[in-house]
Amino acid sequence: MRLTNLILLFTLLIANLLSAQNFNQNEHRWIKGWTNFEPNKVNYPEAEEKLPNIIDSDTFLRNDIVYLLSGDVYVTSGAALTIQKGTVIRCDHENPANLIITRGSKLIAAGTEAYPIVFTSNKSPKSRTSGDWGGITIVGSGKINTVSGSGVIQGNFNPQFAIYGGDQHDEQTTILRYLRIEYAGNKTKKGKGSHALSLYGLGSTSILDHIMISHSALGSFSWKGGRNNTKNLISYKAEANDYDISEGFKGDLNNVIAIRHPYITCSNGSYALAVNGYNHELGYIKPNAVTDVTITDATLVNLSDSSNYQHTTAAIKSSNLATLYIHNSKISGFSNVIKFDKSYSSVDVIEKTFKMDNSFFNIHGDGVESRSIEKTSIVNILKYNRFTKDFLSAEDLFKDPTNIIAPKFQLKQSLNNYTVMQE
């Protein structure tokens, strides 16, 4: 019996060491070749052809033409807008552009590593700013956790095209691959505007991978309802939340990066990840239909240091009993790992709805913000994760976090050198 226990202990130790080694060797190779962390320096060609404001038949955009998106452009009547790899779409800042894919229609934008598709400001280099244009809104017929099973998209859009949600759970609402969205998030739509990429009622057979959103004046990615598994996403220096998930969305997000700066934020604070179980105003169908997300291999980083870390929030905000599981991820530069709202009324409720394991965090607070639990309970909530004893800046913690070609978030020290929380 003793020999068996020793073998089991040795096996677990080896597995832990291999897991730590693999964790620290995650170099984000998938971000190379198609991303751009300095889009304000790119001299994109001038637009040659303006898109119509209503696209009601199947339309193909060629990569030998640079297109202008101006005002609200709706894809309607079940039409498919297909964009060839390598196509550049310049987006009007004077008449702020929005692309709205209405319910039943489709956006197919499949770039490649060598030829990504780019939506960007029509301003000249070095003059582009966050919020130059609106964003891309994709309206699907997937399941929404509201009493009516539907909702109205955010912003002052044509009511005829603004309803989302339905019962087409397996709909292929869109295909987005190797896509960059730059300088979106204009706030002129009733003062709210729309996120750079808003996904409403997304169908489960939709394909989203290798998408980079940079310098949004609002949030980067937003999911409201639907069901989908998504991978290889980057949000770079957004003002509002990087990843905003609500209204009963269910799915997995793999290989997710959020890079924030403490001076780039909203007045009421912004989070790398905000999950909301349901919409208070719209109600919900049933408690087990709340937002339920699994996130694996996430890197959530605020580029703060000892001179400005006091301006940071928690990395994650969880509201209205959303369910969240985070695995094999890194969180650094924030005040805390997660903030719970009052719906999480006890430690028992939190432990049923939130789990984080095999992850690493570097924060300057206690780890968890909640008015419902005592500080002594925080250790249990964040057990099975490693952390720094003292807060470190991104430059001190990671190998090359500000590299303009491909930031490197490998830890400078072996993961096993950091403290491990125990039960």
Task: Report whether pLDDT(409) > 90.
Answer: yes
**What would the pLDDT profile of 316-330 be if each residue is shown by its tens digit?**
999 999 999 999 999
Distance between CA atoms of 48 and 65, rounded to whole angstroms? Answer: 6
Higher pLDDT, 177 or 1: 177
Specify burial of residue 406 (Cβ count, 10 A radius: 0-12, 13-18, 19+).
Answer: middle
289 CB-near residues (< 8 Å, 6+ apart):
143, 145, 248, 278
- Write out the E strands in 237-367: 243-246, 250-260, 273-276, 292-302, 316-319, 323-327, 330-334, 338-340, 354-357, 360-363
What integer is the mean pLDDT of 299-320? 94
Question: What pLDDT is stored for residue 15 in this prediction?
Answer: 41
Question: What pLDDT is stored for residue 210 in this prediction?
Answer: 98
Using a CB cutoff of 8 Å and minimum separation of 24, what contacts does 374-378 make?
377/347
pTM above 0.85, yes or no: yes
Please state which of the ranges 20-29, 40-49, 182-191 shows the lowest mean pLDDT.
Answer: 20-29
Distance between CA atoms of 59 and 107, rounded to whole angstroms? Answer: 10
Please state which of the ranges 66-70, 135-139, 171-175, 278-282 shows the lowest mean pLDDT.
Answer: 278-282
Question: What pLDDT is stored for residue 373 in this prediction?
Answer: 80
What integer is the mean pLDDT of 344-357? 94
Task: Report whether pLDDT(119) > 80.
Answer: yes
What are the counts of helices (DSSP H) followed by strands (DSSP E) for the chain? 4, 33
Please state which of the ranges 52-56, 185-189, 411-415 shows the lowest mean pLDDT.
Answer: 185-189
**What would the pLDDT profile of 75-103 be if each residue is shown by its tens digit?**
999 999 999 999 999 999 999 999 999 99
Q: Quick one: tokens of 17?
A: 């060491």
* Structure confidence at residue 421 as a pLDDT band (50, 70, 90): low
Chain center to CA of 375: 29
User: Are the C-beta atoms of 371 and 343 separated by less than 8 Å?
Assistant: no
Chain center to CA of 399: 23
What integer is the mean pLDDT of 186-197? 78
What integer is the mean pLDDT of 37-47? 97
Task: Output phi, psi for 367, to 5 deg.
Answer: 120, -40
Higher pLDDT, 17 or 131: 131
Task: Report whether pLDDT(12) > 50.
Answer: no
Question: What pLDDT is stored for residue 4 in this prediction?
Answer: 44
Task: Report whether pLDDT(13) > 70.
Answer: no
Helix (H, G, I), strand (E, B) or coil at 30: helix
Question: What pLDDT is stored for residue 415 in this prediction?
Answer: 83
- % of the chain with per-residue pLDDT over 70: 91
| Cα radius of gyration (the chain) | 22
Question: What pLDDT is stored for residue 24 in this prediction?
Answer: 57
Cβ of 410: how many Cβ atoms within 10 Å?
18
Average pLDDT, the chain: 90
262 CB-near residues (< 8 Å, 6+ apart):
302, 303, 304, 308, 309, 311, 312, 333
Task: Report whether pLDDT(3) > 60.
Answer: no
Higher pLDDT, 124 or 192: 124
What integer is the mean pLDDT of 270-291? 84
Task: Report whether pLDDT(297) > 70.
Answer: yes
What Cα–Cα distance (Å) separates residue 331 from each residue in 89, 131, 160, 173, 335?
A: 34, 27, 42, 32, 10
Cβ of 348: how many Cβ atoms within 10 Å?
10
Q: Quick one: tokens of 152?
A: 């109205």
User: Are the C-beta atoms of 317 and 271 separated by less than 8 Å?
Assistant: yes
Question: What pLDDT is stored for residue 22 in this prediction?
Answer: 52
Question: What pLDDT is stored for residue 419 in this prediction?
Answer: 84
User: Are the C-beta atoms of 122 and 68 separated by less than 8 Å?
Assistant: yes
What integer is the mean pLDDT of 376-384? 82
Question: What pLDDT is stored for residue 192 in this prediction?
Answer: 67
Distance between CA atoms of 104 and 171, rounded to whole angstroms? Answer: 9
**What would the pLDDT profile of 204-262 be if each residue is shown by its tens digit?**
999 999 999 999 999 999 999 999 999 999 999 999 999 999 999 999 999 999 999 99
What integer is the mean pLDDT of 278-302? 86
Question: What pLDDT is stored for residue 371 in this prediction?
Answer: 85
Cβ of 38: how many Cβ atoms within 10 Å?
10
